[in-house]
Amino acid sequence: MVDADGPANRVEVFKRVDVHIAKEIKSKVEVIILDYELEEWICYSFGIHFAGDKPSKALNERCKEKRGSKRGYKKWQLPKFVENLDINALRRNCRSFEEFVSILLAGK
């Protein structure tokens, strides 16, 4: 799973990652390119619009609003969001999440 930092970068990011996968295992490896970063899954799930900005920035702003303080979102907080993800919303709205689920269901 790799951050692309923008959908326009997906192909280039894949090329940079693909060269590091040994030929002997390529058929057993799936590369999932996130349009932006993993936080996009949280944003799609909770309906947080990030409008081409970094999802982590939008999530940070939302956390500040909800908590009414200067404390925002930090990467170490990712696991706290997992149990509240809306899986159906993610499958409908997020290409990288649907790719992830498809790979899991295929049993690779």
Using the Cα atoms of residue 32, residue 35, residue 37 and residue 41 in order, give the sign of their dihedral.
negative
Total domain count, the chain: 1
Q: How far apart (Å, rounded) are the C-alpha atoms in residues 79 and 20?
A: 28
What is the pLDDT confidence band of residue 108, given thresholds at 50, 70 and 90? Answer: low
Degrees, nearest 5: CA angle 100-53-4: 40
pLDDT tens digits, one per residue of 35-59: 999 999 999 999 999 987 899 999 9
pLDDT tens digits, one per residue of 22-33: 999 999 999 999
Q: Give the range of the structural domain holding residue 56, as residue numbers without chain letter.
A: 2-106
